[in-house]
Structure 1
Amino acid sequence: MAPERLSALDTAFLCLEGDATPMHMGAVATFRPRRDWDADHVAGLLAERAARIPRLRRRVRTGLLPLSSAHWEDDPSFDPARHVAVSSLYDRYAADPLATFAEHWIAEPLDLNRPLWSVQLVTGLPDGDFALLVKFHHALADGMGAVELALALLDDITLPWQRRPADDEPEETSRSPLGAVADTAAALLGQAAESAGIAGSIVTSARPFPLSPTATVNSPSRRIGLVRLPGSDIRTVRTAHGGTTHDVVLAVLAGALREWMINRGQRADARSLRALVPVSLRGRDSRDTGNSLSGYLCDLPVEVDDPVERLRLVREAMARNKEAGPTRGAGALPVLANRLPAGLHRLAAKAAGQAAPLLFDTVVTTVPVPSIPLSLAGARLREVYPFVPLAPHQSVGIAVATYRDGVHVGLQANGHAVSDVGSLADAVTKSMARLQLES
């Protein structure tokens, strides 16, 4: 069997990896266990389940030449127990002990010579709860793929899109060789034109001046903020003003970033902050967990004080993005990256990463967690806070997950630029309260 090569986009994330720019996604999930639970038993269960997932047994093997491609191979010395650790909260007097623990954990890069994932089971939470901290490298999976891998570590569930009869296979259509060649040629021409359009949009959308207020020196230090927004508040705002849950969250984040900037002595009215909003291109029936994504650029109106007006502007911006489609505009940079030769990323990825602040100021991603009850060894999942990797030279990245009746916001900040991420977390809560008050 031929080795499975990394896609160009998978390779790009691998090449962006650095001591100060680790390219792994993360999540902090809290569980309410039964009284007789045992941490070592749960860790063993996680290792046992991980061993059954082929993707988690593989490591990356790169070629010696600069332009050679990388591929996946089974790790001959794979031991799932080496990827699963048990710890206890060590600073229980911190303002948020779990966030403090997660800061040190998420700052540690994954070992690129081993399968690109890690799980930490953390005990000592209030009320006897425990936390599960999960890291997947972005070369291994995108957000949706990471969710699928994480769900495979939990207790068995059947997701709605998995309920398909066994004999319900896609129908094969017969095509003549000439017709297939014509279709391929048309697709390649269409991709070339589309790629040229994306490249042109990137050039015209770059903002070299004024300098991004969130641009900073890369640092290996990290700060973590965990914010839970009530789902009922989001629904109240949507009923009063319209928009999607994502629109409301983006507007809330715009208000929070505005207050955060003002408190730091920065001008919020100098320009809007631009967010890269990743968009999945994965079909429901896809069996691949690699990267299949694009993105939208959305200007967050931090210069606007009125929370309802901020929501209106965000709604209009996202509506324009959706009308254009996920493979148009500068936000479709991942699509363009995936069409370049994979080997080229080994030469150009670092330089492209340095230019990220010219195109966007932060990343705001939504992680699709199923709304059904989830559990691990019978322990009920209570909260889940996702984290997105920090782009080079950027201060903060934001990830959002909706689970049950809570919208969970994970803030990951550059510790050199943001010493107190708690102030930003508080600003998110205040921004939600202000918008809800106007609804």
Structure 2
Amino acid sequence: MPYDRLSPQDSVFLHVEDDHQPLHVGALAYFEAGPLRDAEGRFDLERVRRRIASRLHLVPRFRKRIMTVPFDQGRPVWVDDEDFDLAYHVRLTAIPAPGSEAQVKLLMDRVQAQVLDRRRPLWELWFVDGVDDDRVALIQKTHHALVDGVSGIDVATVLLDLEPDTEDVEPPPWDPEPPPEASSLLVDSLVERASEPAELLRSARAALRVPRDVVERVGQVARTVVDLAHPTPSAPWNVPVTPHRRFEPARVELERAKALRRAASDRGHDLEGTTLNDVVLTACAGAMRAYLRGRGDDVAEDLVYRAMVPVSVRDVSEQMALGNRVSMMVADLPVGEPDPVERLRFVHAHMASRKEMGEAVGADTIMEATGYAPPTLLALGARLAVRTMPMNTVITNIPGPQVPLYCLGARMLEAFPYVCVVDGMAMIIAVISYDGRLEFGLSGDRSAMADLQDLATAVPDAFDELETALGLAAPPAGGRSRAAGGRRAKAGRGGRSAPGRRGAGGSGAQGTEATGT
């Protein structure tokens, strides 16, 4: 069969997307510029394209495009792009040297605001030359239907290396398969739709043979449904979005978060088992509180916002697999709580109870059930869910490699994740741990979050506040990070590297401590 059908979860991202609401994810990364230049000092774009071309066989869906089923009688399918043009997907632009990070962010805003062309594979890489401190920026965008956050780290690192000195390999020949005829795709889809209810019935009968599992599963789903129906106060960013975007990074040393986790666990039984994710969520709640107060808003002490926290349900056998294998948990954030330790205690207890109730499993079961819905109902349901979901924001925390990565010998200095905003959630926070840092990417609607910089600055300040409350010694001078400054000193090619294979194909590189839920 010359195609792969999108999963129900992947299809949702296509159904919800429109011109004012692009649904792709991505990143803003910075690299050393020197190794990426040719003998004349120019950015060597063709060499970069050759390297990417030599790795594309490892991510075959990056050469596939979307094909829809006639009359929307089935979920879309992935087919080989017979006119695949790598030059379209890997681009070079520049800002006047020495370009500032503010200029790079403006370009990032514009690139991420554009909807990906569905007639082509759904990804783009934009290299940006001319950045100060002899750096090159990379703006990445990949449609959410193609990749989720955790597998996205796997795919990105396939194109990078754990060591600075590597060579191109000869890729296997690629012979694209022609797409199916529209008529045969329609027939196949109708047959598949007719067989799905029977498959669902068989699954139900099999489940009834183990009634205890059925009861637990039903209970998990019921708790998830009740929880998702719970109302929540509105935040300033819970508004419709425009076609325009804003992006802000923030930086915090990973060791600071680990020290906070250890200090919290040492305080007593009520904080024992505090996780890095608890610390990150607490800092986000503290940043939101500071942001609201900075706006002059009245912040009641009982104010609690709700964040959707994506949870990967991808097992080890699915590492490097594309598509979405993500469920969700609901995190209550005590934004009104003035005491940062009480804020952490609330988050820790809340997240522990969510895990015990199996909320992520319940949400995953609900999503699986959409596979049996007619495509038109799935599309309508997806749009309705986005507009009515009682959430204030999304906070996604992705474990990344704790060793430096390289592209053609150029060290990746930083990488800030980008997650798309949607109607009703005009501000989203994504976090990735990379090479000793927690790197925050705050995305927002340009109109609704014109002051997004204030929220980004409040993130490292919230870590300062929690350190003081837990009695930790202040880090050495210059050790604290800020949203717009404080980036690490450039590391030369002699920086630490990990032994092992050529490609860093997996988010769990040697020495990595996962920061996810």
Q: TM-score, normalised by structure 1?
A: 0.86
Distance 1:49 1:263, change over 3 A: farther
Partner in structure 2 of residue 346 of structure 1: 379
- C-alpha displacement at 1:102, in angstroms? 1.1
Q: Equivalent of 1:284, from 297, 316, 324?
A: 316
Task: Report SS of the residue matched to 2:112.
Answer: helix
Q: Equivalent of 1:392, from 416, 423, 436?
A: 423
Tell me which amino acid in the other structure corresponds to 2:299.
A
Partner in structure 2 of residue 120 of structure 1: 126
CA distance in 1, matches of 2:257, 2:216: 40
Deviates more, 1:92-101 or 1:112-121: 92-101
Partner in structure 1 of residue 168 of structure 2: none
- C-alpha displacement at 1:66, in angstroms? 3.2
Count how many residue pairs are aligned between Structure 1 and Structure 2.
411
Tell me which amino acid in the other structure corresponds to 2:468.
L
CA offset digits 1:206-252 (Å, max 9, x no partner): 34564444311221111111101012321221221132211111111
- C-alpha displacement at 1:421, in angstroms? 1.2
Distance 1:315 1:374, change over 3 A: same
CA distance in 1, matches of 2:36, 2:100: 28
CA distance in 2, matches of 1:196, 1:348: 23
Partner in structure 1 of residue 169 of structure 2: none
Tell me which amino acid in the other structure corresponds to 1:374.
L
Task: Report SS of the residue matched to 2:79.
Answer: strand
1:385, 1:409 within 8 Å by CA — same for their partners in 2?
Answer: yes
Task: Report SS of the residue matched to 1:295.
Answer: strand
CA distance in 2, matches of 1:192, 1:24: 37
1:67, 1:346 within 8 Å by CA — same for their partners in 2?
Answer: no
Deviates more, 1:60-69 or 1:404-413: 60-69
CA RMSD of aligned residues (A): 2.6
Which of the pair has more CA radius of gyration?
2
- C-alpha displacement at 1:192, in angstroms? 9.7
Give the 4+ runs in structure 1 shifted more than 4 A: 90-95, 181-184, 188-193, 207-210
1:186 counterpart = 2:209: no
CA distance in 2, matches of 1:248, 1:353: 28
CA distance in 1, matches of 2:23, 2:13: 6
CA offset digits 1:104-147 (Å, max 9, x no partner): 11111111221111101111122111111111111001112211
Partner in structure 1 of residue 436 of structure 2: 405
CA offset digits 1:251-293 (Å, max 9, x no partner): 1110000111122233332631101000000011215211111
Identity of aligned residues (%): 34
Partner in structure 1 of residue 246 of structure 2: 223
2:417, 2:431 within 8 Å by CA — same for their partners in 1?
Answer: yes
Question: How do 1:9-408 and structure 2 match up within 5 A?
Answer: 9-34=9-34, 37-38=37-38, 39=43, 40-49=45-54, 51-52=56-57, 53-89=59-95, 96-155=102-161, 185-187=205-207, 194=217, 198=221, 201-203=224-226, 205-208=228-231, 210-242=233-265, 243-269=274-300, 271-286=303-318, 287-328=320-361, 332=363, 335-340=365-370, 341=372, 343=375, 344-356=377-389, 359-408=390-439
CA distance in 2, matches of 1:74, 1:211: 44
Deviates more, 1:411-420 or 1:228-237: 228-237
CA distance in 2, matches of 1:137, 1:127: 31
Task: Report SS of the residue matched to 2:402.
Answer: coil
Gaps of 5+ in 2: 164-200, 266-273, 471-517
- C-alpha displacement at 1:325, in angstroms? 2.3
CA distance in 1, matches of 2:403, 2:396: 21
1:199, 1:336 within 8 Å by CA — same for their partners in 2?
Answer: no
CA distance in 2, matches of 1:405, 1:23: 29
Task: Report SS of the residue matched to 1:109.
Answer: coil
CA distance in 1, matches of 2:216, 2:367: 15
CA distance in 1, matches of 2:95, 2:281: 32
- C-alpha displacement at 1:196, in angstroms? 7.7
Q: TM-score, normalised by structure 2?
A: 0.74
2:234, 2:392 within 8 Å by CA — same for their partners in 1?
Answer: no
